[in-house]
Structure 1
């Protein structure tokens, strides 16, 4: 067995994070091929350029992953989440994606995602405590 030391930290160096990410990407590239990972952002702005809502995620291996979707309080309940998702899905299809996935522990967001055609495929109870994190997918 090789000798090694373990470092546990909440302040990793950029070099450590880069080494882990680069090595995992190299492994995955050799195993299943390049991911083609590209960021994807959709932002709704007011007349002065302020962000009123936004979606941030990426496309990789033929899938859109929506990491963040936020709507300003003043804009909620007007269908903007569905509009952002639809715009991201159009771009994902343009990039050759065949599916999309997202997760949430917010019951209101869960309803919005289901209205947009996303279907649950898994759950984690008490994540965070008292809530259920639901994972959803949608074919594109």
Structure 2
């Protein structure tokens, strides 16, 4: 089964809103709109994060599922708003999607020991599915919703699923939009661990010099991120090397780094480029990779600004 869980985003949210269960099931599960609203409203507390996913089989959306969690807990990992569209039920998609969600939670949150969900007291089909996957009653209720839990360490169905890597993931070449989604999600993940006053610190800082004819004679490209600047490129035209232009550009970046209260500047260079130049300007070698590219070395430098 070619099933995949994909984040709900600006491209597929309207299609996700159209996912709905049969009339008989509508009292058992919230509408997708209600689940998505939780991301903004945070009804379960400010510490709870919500991650909505659309369930795809091939290129066809067949359902919706959401993960809610509290970071660094062992048992506050919830599956919410789970539904398979009425027209797609009875095909085994529910079990497959739940197993993918459980496997994903385990892979993303190593502290997780227990996954929880709720099921309406009259939703016997869903309760039977959850029980078959190893969920057990906790004795706790939220209104008409019974809380069930899964011990992910001991559950045999999850262990069987985890032993078959091909059933867990589909690896494909990313489009520019999909690559951007990966980057965006990582940035959001990183933000949970970064001091609040640093989170907005991101800026490209690119400088250049021109000759008397207005042509680019050299430049430096860098990125200000959190509490450092990383130099990506420093280049001077061969005609102007040895005149101090490279030093001026590097010094200007250092001045900017100090103004932005950076702790350090980092960069990398090759043995056929300028390792000696950076050492002259106070950079320390932190490591090197041999034979990269073949016959040369790849150096990594840092300069602390304390």
- 1:43 alignment partner, one of 208, 221, 227: 208
Contact 1:29 1:35 in 2 (8 A): no
In structure 2, the partner of 1:118 is 283
Kindly state the Cα deviation for residue 22 of structure 1 after the two structures are TM-superposed.
0.5
Give the Cα–Cα distance (whole angstroms) in 2 for the partners of residues 5 and 121 of structure 1: 37
Give the Cα–Cα distance (whole angstroms) in 1 for the partners of residues 213 and 256 of structure 2: 25
In structure 1, the partner of 2:269 is 104
Give the Cα–Cα distance (whole angstroms) in 1 for the partners of residues 282 and 210 of structure 2: 25
Q: Secondary structure at the match of 1:43?
A: strand
Q: Which stretch shows the higher mean deviation, 96-105 or 29-38?
A: 29-38
Matches within 5 A, 1:8-47: 8=173, 12-33=174-195, 34=199, 36-47=201-212
TM-score (norm 2): 0.43
Q: Secondary structure at the match of 1:31?
A: coil
In structure 2, the partner of 1:5 is 170
| Residues 1:62 and 2:230 aligned together | no
**TM-align CA RMSD:** 1.5
Q: Secondary structure at the match of 2:300?
A: strand
Higher relative contact order (CA 8 A, sep 6+): 1
Post-superposition CA distance 1:39-83 (Å, at most 9, x none): 111211123322100000111121110001111010112222111
Give the Cα–Cα distance (whole angstroms) in 2 for the partners of residues 19 and 115 of structure 1: 40
Give the Cα–Cα distance (whole angstroms) in 2 for the partners of residues 22 and 15 of structure 1: 10
Q: How many residues align?
A: 137
Contact 1:53 1:71 in 2 (8 A): yes
Contact 1:102 1:137 in 2 (8 A): yes
Q: Secondary structure at the match of 1:44?
A: strand
| Residues 1:72 and 2:237 aligned together | yes
Contact 1:65 1:100 in 2 (8 A): yes
Contact 1:82 1:113 in 2 (8 A): no
TM-score (norm 1): 0.90
Post-superposition CA distance 1:72-127 (Å, at most 9, x none): 01011222211110001111111121210111113451111111111101111111
In structure 1, the partner of 2:247 is 82
Contact 1:81 1:112 in 2 (8 A): no
What 5-or-longer segments of structure 2 have no aligned partner?
1-98, 101-167
Give the Cα–Cα distance (whole angstroms) in 1 for the partners of residues 271 and 247 of structure 2: 16
Give the Cα–Cα distance (whole angstroms) in 2 for the partners of residues 108 and 21 of structure 1: 30
- 1:57 to 1:47, Cα distance in 2 relative to 1, 3 A: same
Give the Cα–Cα distance (whole angstroms) in 1 for the partners of residues 269 and 242 of structure 2: 17
Q: Which stretch shows the higher mean deviation, 123-132 or 45-54?
A: 45-54
